[in-house]
Chain A
């Protein structure tokens, strides 16, 4: 694929890619932006090469996930960021008006997803948010389809329970 075509494809997948990066970074938008930038650089430099074995979006999601894992392993750089952590949190969060609007509609979902296992939350995000099939989700996560299907089924059941509990509490 030519560099120009790659860039067009990246731009087309950008909103979905960012949402996936946020999920891979545990909800931190600032880290997600860094991870996505690193992933784009890898793709455009040719360090990550698309060979057409899956859809471009599926492949890109795999690159993003791998890059996020690399970043999270850089524990020393994370330790150095302790000082700026609190300050950056205020930058990363939505402003109060946005947060209030988003809270009611997504707060419950976000809270429930945070209580699922990481793999369950990832599979549900890929299937329901990103409209991937379970097969594609399995490819992104590098796991057998059967395993992905198990995470999907158990995740749905648990998510429904958690959402119902939230409603009852309110």
Chain B
């Protein structure tokens, strides 16, 4: 600090002298201020803050929930139709989907069964 700082020093010391009058007593500060019950306004403010926080939390949680993709593709085997399946749409295609019974020739040769006795 130099003599050139006397102007600043004087300002601060003037403030210090004035502040002394408004300093609470040592005993009062030592004991601590009595706690007042929370006023209604304070409780209301706390409630508003809590509700706002809950709303924000709900929005954030909802926006972060994993999105379920829509069912664009039928996943059941019977419904699945591939692009080349049209090749199977031929005359007599129902025989391709049936299982032949062993021992009954007429299942295998329906045309021959009709002429049974003529050739076999």
Contacts and interface: CB of A to CB of B under 8 A. Distances in A.
Contacts, number: 94
A87 B26 CA distance: 25
A18 B30 CA distance: 12
A94 B45 contact: no
B55 to A, nearest CB: 16
B23 A40 contact: no
Interface of A is mostly: helix
Contacts of A102: 18
A128 B42 contact: no
B33 A34 contact: yes
A84 B41 contact: yes
Contacts of B43: 83
Interface residues on B, range: 20 to 34
B23 A15 contact: yes
A80 interface: yes
B22 A84 contact: no
Contact of B24 (A18, A41, A80, A98): A18
Given A18-B24, A18-B29, A105 B42 contact: no
Interface of A: 7, 10-11, 14-15, 18-19, 22, 29, 33-34, 36-37, 40-41, 79-84, 87, 94, 98, 101-102, 105-106, 109-110, 124-125, 127-129, 156, 159-160, 163
25 contacts: A10-B30, A15-B19, A15-B20, A18-B29, A19-B23, A22-B19, A37-B30, A37-B33, A40-B30, A79-B45, A79-B46, A80-B46, A81-B42, A82-B49, A83-B42, A83-B43, A83-B46, A84-B39, A87-B39, A102-B18, A109-B15, A128-B11, A128-B12, A129-B15, A160-B7
